[in-house]
Chains A and B, each alone.
Chain A
Amino acid sequence: ETGVTQSPTHLIKTRGQQVTLRCSSQSGHNTVSWYQQALGQGPQFIFQYYREEENGRGNFPPRFSGLQFPNYSSELNVNALELDDSALYLCASSGQRGGATINEQFFGPGTRLTVL
Chain B
Amino acid sequence: DTAVSQTPKYLVTQMGNDKSIKCEQNLGHDTMYWYKQDSKKFLKIMFSYNNKELIINETVPNRFSPKSPDKAHLNLHINSLELGDSAVYFCASSQGSGSRTGELFFGEGSRLTVL
Q: Do A and B bind each other?
A: no
Where the two chains meet, the residues of A that have a C-beta atom closer than 8 Å to any C-beta of B are none
